[in-house]
Amino acid sequence: MLRIEKIFNKKEIQEEIDAYNPLIPDGTNLKATMLIMFPDVEVRREMLFKLHDIENKIWLSSGDKKIIAYADEDLDRSTDEKTSAVHFLRFQLEQDDIADFISSSEVRIGVDHPE
């Protein structure tokens, strides 16, 4: 991000570090950034309304159990009417989930949203 945003001074670098540190997994979770992208602005606007609450319907599985993501713990990104185009997700894992994840040859991620 520092390179892409051309950030070079110490204060701005620290601000970026502070913003992104919460996204680092702590050993009992996995974290992801979800970007909903539609190049056409009007289509994107329409779809963000249709996809309202999608951030609360994302799951991860390496066995039979679906682990639902915790979304946007740092700040609210969506409104009562539409979702945001960017969401930060945390998949909190129990010890059994971690063992399943490590031993599994297949990990699935999905969404249970009607749209």
Q: Model confidence over 11-65: pLDDT tens digits? A: 999 998 888 888 888 999 999 989 999 999 999 999 999 999 999 999 999 888 8
- Give pTM, 2 decimals: 0.80
Evaluate whether 69 touches 32 at the Cβ level (below 8 Å): yes
Supply 27's token pair.
């050993």
Strand partners, 86: 35
Identity (one letter) of the amino acid at 7?
I
| Residues 6 or more apart whose Cβ sits within 8 Å of residue 104 | 62, 63
When pLDDT is cut at 50, 70 and 90, the band that residue 104 belongs to is: confident
- Say what the pLDDT of residue 19 is: 81
Phi, psi (rounded to 5 degrees) for 29: -155, 165
pLDDT digits (tens, 9 = 90+) for 54-76: 999 999 998 888 999 999 887 77
Give the domain ranges of the chain: 25-111
